[in-house]
Structure 1
């Protein structure tokens, strides 16, 4: 860069504007030294022009001389306090340095003097996003694309903001617009792939992510998401290959390592495969634990992102998972103690807790119209507001009318987006007394957050009825009716048994009746409904269902399709193999219905004759819906709570005749219900007259309130009464 005492070479133009234009030309060619030379000469000729100083600052910024650049931008503003572009560049420097407050202030000043400045709106949105002000960031990005309809970067940023707000369809639209404008934009393909995965459109997500991988073959986040989309389509060989490729590029990549060693299928072809997979998983868990030290070299944010995993399908194997859950939870804790140590520290109880309402938090990804939302909504909506101040933290991508019920029932409702570290810090700031996770294990983020210490007392519940294994999870709420006698042995947490079914569940309002033909169901056949998610149907169920069909030639099994058709195809293939092995003639004994709205789902229940409960993992919401519709449910209790939910409901209603003692008994009860019309009608009448004992019962809520008060006052906790059906 030329100093003031350097002479200008002979033949160089001396008009400042000409020098300035020459500087811009050489700057665009990335010849920064020559560009600075020209701008310095322009300033020597006329030092009162703010855009000359701005240009010189841009050169310094491009060279990484940020302090020097800031000085030049400030000089430009001295000459022109209304210079929007100088404020913008100064804001960019602050943004690079991580000074978000100063960056936002300068971008705002730029927009004050030049409102139609799309780049300033985009950068302001980026800063607001980093500050956690997602709603304001979204407004800024919207303004950027309004002013510049071909602004690819702003569309990508807007898509990301929409995803953070659970506005997934709008996010998808933004990414598609970005790809339309710039077909080779890798970020847009990655964002679109993620948005499709969130909507469980795995097949479409795979196509988009493969395109992203074509654009950038070594992109590890793309590889990891592609592998995940393949895994969820039951393409396990391909998924494993993609994870291994990611590991070949980065051997200590945590997300790929977990995926490669702990991947589980949704559907097993038979029991032999199930046990082989379980053995492989056990070995993979040991390998993961043995490599813990290798992962600790990774930057903290990448570590936290790598933990974005859940062993959801493990519990559907029907085995005792406590030791494996504890082992994996210890691994997660080891990582978190390095990546976010302050979020793992013990918390003391607030000494003023007795002088105010207790602050109770609920954290879930499923505060919406779904199984978890329906089952646990009353825990939020019906607690005594005179005693408790309720905080709800929704970390899921989908919001609906049930979400609004959670929000309206809360003293403080927050939809928290972003990485788990950000979410954890937001929760910890609220200084809760007790934090409750209704379904640890169903969502990746919730599982990691549950490992942290965000409240002095932390509780899990049976939205996913298996122990978390986390040392920082103190209690586990469950139903006294549904747990076996040795239940505590299945949990690393202290088990708290609530009376009845453990929640105040309102009886569904039945819709107007329909005809079987409305759903293409056969008129003269006996319909055995098995409405569980297909991954819940353990291979042990197959032989029982086959025996029921063999005993009643007029019987038809009715299932519902999975969200992803690959799971449906895998399940149907397994059933087909069972038919072939038994040499049973196929004559329309299987009916697979499409997914449908809840009203129509209830109508199907009303049209069927019997519900077949599944072994090892019984119905919860599905059983409550069936009983509300007067549909008899045949069940056989399992070893763990997750296989005993229907058992508890039927026992509470005095319907012991529908509870099987063994496989033979199960087939006998199901067959009789389908062939003995008089007994079937007697059972239906019993259901209709006694189902109120499991619906809208507030006793569990009052017991929960007592637990909260006792836990915080260190009083001994009372056990539930022997009468668990009040």
Structure 2
């Protein structure tokens, strides 16, 4: 018996059981051994055996309070809660004042569905034994479940004072502190818990979650991986690793983790929901739709699922279905703010501007939110019914922005909270300098953190100039095509090139771009995280291929990462103080160009691009394949419909008047509402316009190029002219009629003509524009003559190393000036 009791005290239950069994072999009615062995059998998960042993002890020694308490524990382990409660109550009748009895009653009464009586038992246990750690932990967890986090904290703090060497006490205190958003203190206690018990994987998981909240991505990753080393396939850790990858822009890796999480726990709804969202973000719309629908079948009242499914339909351009699902989400949960915002964006995309604004207004009625007010101000139409509507919108925009400027409210993250770069303003045809400066000043006021300087800011010049290029568009698209040649041909002995890429897309061009750079850095779609990653690098120049198209790049551009910061592309000033230079060309700029920019304007003697000459696809499209009429004269403006300013209607009207057989070829809009708006607008110019317009389908780039060979005349948009498309035309020897506006964005085609010394198709006004277009369409020898001239002289526009060398010269001079504390003159 002495050996058994000693083994039990030393925490050696199996050894103790062996000795108790030897006692009982000598005396089968030894009631102390029977009772102690029964308690060990309860802990060993064998309540039936324990009950038999206790009943034998009672038979040998009579009814004792201790036996009844243990019998209650055994019945409770059997989930026979009625018998357990009866045993505990008999123990109290016998006069036993043991906190453990009240704790047992708490458990059995809770299981019987009597929470108030159960809580009373727990309080009696604490009155009897105020330092009872088991009771304190139980009452702390009740407070946690009831979101009474301060009360939970007080209970758990007491357990740590009583038993400071218990890992569980530190764990629960850390959990309460985490719920109270006291992350630093929570981390301290999670670490103490792990110092005591390094295998407490839950502490690693929760530590990772705190790091995620603090956007310490790598620390979070290490914490989750540590948890998985201890215990394989922890669903929460696997799910959160997926969340981390998604923040880092590693969406394919995120899918892998979400799938592991759902495999580890098939019923883990949050992981399945995240998997659906990730599939959607990866463009796997059919698979995402299937996931959402499965979840909806299980939980038809979960508004988030309809919201997610609505986003899938939005991405698939099924706007009617998207609107229906967002409305379903709002019906199920009228307070789901994200559904209102998503619905507003669909209305905006389908040019239902007033409906979009109304949606954001409803969101603000549910919850006043300064960021939503900003979004409501910044959200402006992409296509307009008239010039007067543009002026009204700009007036409203300026008034609302002034109102918001008077506020003292702030926001933390303009990308996630607002996420608009005001691209549409550039389509209005005005000098953007003042309004862009006002917008930038506004964001700096409401989010002072934008005015941030990298701690790695380079202080002195070294042998090689380190250039960082930041963009979302290093793939097969206009930006990728325009900049691949520069990336590939920068002098490797003079420059080191780092590409910082958001949302990397793996295609043939992106692989070539990545191969040409010294380093490729994948950036997450998260403002703070992306900024920290870029700031790890010490650079001489940060070069933005565009600012104004992508909202995240726009907000990143407020940071000072390098002594020289410049932008090119998207020919509109941004008003951002951290951008030193706007790189343009003397061929595209008007005489008063410097007045249009907040940045220092650099006018190159070249265009500053190295572009591969486009080639026609082997299989060319024919008019018959596209269903084009053969009895009409076709004029094509193959630009995105949002580039068609209402003033352009006047130019089209001149062509229709000049040529009664004219047929205007336009590209399909992103949705049919855009097409209809353009048609209705042109009907105001020509009542028969609907019969004179033919919308061409949107095609892959290789097939799209062949479209330029089909029409009788190609015409350029005004205020925001063709860029890459005009270069493609010139490579094929296709003339483009253009009219240069007063701002660089409307002078790109004009600039290309100036660069090659051909001026035949440059118009001075709408009348001459229509006349040149008519002559191209009807005077075939003249058109061929112009086309040959363009094709012969266009070689200077393509694969011209002079453009790259001039850019290199600018970088060298700008860096030298920057380290002398100056800007270039």
Report the TM range for the smaller structure's normalisation.
0.7 to 0.9
1:94 and 1:103 in contact (8 A); partners too: yes
Distance in 1 (alpha carbons) for counterparts of 2:472 and 2:676:
28
Q: After the TM superposition, which of the residue ranges 93-102 and 440-449 deviates more from structure 2?
A: 93-102
2: CA distance between counterparts of 1:112 and 1:150? 23
CA distance in 2, matches of 1:79, 1:16: 29
The question of whether the paired residues in 1 share the 8 Å contact of 2:623 and 2:710 is answered with yes
Moved more, 89-98 or 275-284: 89-98
Is 1:495 matched up with 2:601?
A: yes
Q: For residues 593 and 220 of structure 2, what CA distance do their matches in structure 1 show?
A: 56
The 1-side partners of 2:226 and 2:72 are apart by 32
- Corresponding residue for 1:146? 263
| Residue number in structure 2 paired with 1:282 | 398
In 1, the alpha carbon distance for the partners of 2:245 and 2:634 equals: 56
| CA–CA separation in structure 2 for the residues paired with 1:79 and 1:478 | 60
Greater RCO structure (CA 8 Å; 6+ sep) = 1
Q: Which of 552, 570, 574 lines up with 1:468 in the alignment?
A: 574
In structure 2, what is the Cα distance between the partners aligned to 1:423 and 1:349?
19
> How far 1:240 moved relative to its partner?
1.4
Partner of 2:209: 95
Instruction: State which structure, 1 or 2, has the greater radius of gyration over its C-alpha atoms.
Output: 2
Deviation of 1:388 after TM superposition, in Å, equals 1.8
Give the corresponding residue for 1:568.
Answer: 675
Cross-structure match for 1:16: 73
Match of 2:347 among 210, 224, 230: 230
- Superposition deviation, residue 132 in structure 1: 8.4
Aligned to 1:627: 730
**Deviation string, structure 1 residues 655-680 (Cα, Å, up to 9, x no partner):** 21111112221111111111222212
TM-score by length of 2: 0.75
5+ residue gaps, structure 1, are 1-6, 45-50, 720-726
RMSD of aligned residue pairs (Cα, Å): 4.0
SS of structure 1 residue aligned to 2:684: helix
Aligned length: 691
Stretch of structure 1 that moved more, 400-409 or 68-77: 68-77
State the 1:34 CA deviation: 3.7
Of stretches 30-39 and 539-548 in structure 1, the one that deviates more from structure 2 is: 30-39
Residue of 371, 374, 377 corresponding to 1:255 = 371
CA distance in 2, matches of 1:557, 1:140: 51
**Range with greater deviation from structure 2 (651-660 or 465-474):** 651-660
User: Residues 467 and 490 of structure 1 are in contact (CA less than 8 Å); yes or no, is this contact kept in structure 2?
Assistant: yes
1:141 positional shift: 1.9
Match of 2:16 in 1: none
| Corresponding residue for residue 689 of structure 1 | 792
Q: Which runs of 5+ in 2 are unaligned?
A: 1-63, 80-105, 129-133, 172-191
What does 1:187-266 align with in structure 2 at a 5 Å threshold? Answer: 187-194=304-311, 197=314, 202-251=319-368, 253-266=369-382
- Of residues 346, 349, 355 in structure 1, which corresponds to 2:458? 349
Q: Pick one of 163, 182, 190 that aligns with 2:299.
A: 182
Tell me the CA shift for residue 220 of structure 1. Answer: 2.5
Shift of 1:161: 5.1
Alpha carbons of structure 1 residues 199 and 709: separation in structure 2 relative to 1, 3 Å: farther
Task: Give the deviation of 1:597 after TM superposition.
Answer: 1.2
The structural deviation recorded for 1:26 is 2.5
Matched, 1:391 2:498: yes
Determine the C-alpha separation between the residues in 2 that align with 1:28 and 1:509. Answer: 78
The TM-score normalised by the length of structure 1 is: 0.84
Q: Aligned partners of 1:239, 1:167: CA distance in 2, in Å?
A: 27
Counterpart of 1:446 (choices 538, 546, 553) is: 553
- Structure 2 counterpart of 1:374: 481
Relative to structure 1, the CA distance from residue 324 to residue 552 in structure 2 (aligned partners, 3 Å threshold; closer, same or farther) is same
CA separation in 1, counterparts of 2:581 and 2:124? 69
Aligned to 1:459: 566
- Give per-residue Cα distances to partners, 1:601-627, cap 9 Å, x unaligned: 122211222111112111101111222
List per-residue Cα deviations over 1:485-524 (Å, max 9, x = no partner).
Answer: 1111100001112233320111111123332101111224
Tell me how far apart the structure 1 counterparts of residues 678 and 357 of structure 2 sit (CA, whole Å).
21
Residue 612 (structure 1) aligned to one of 708, 715, 721: 715
Partners of 1:30 and 1:577 in 2: CA distance = 75
Distance 1:85 1:685, change over 3 A: same
Q: Secondary structure at the match of 1:95?
A: helix
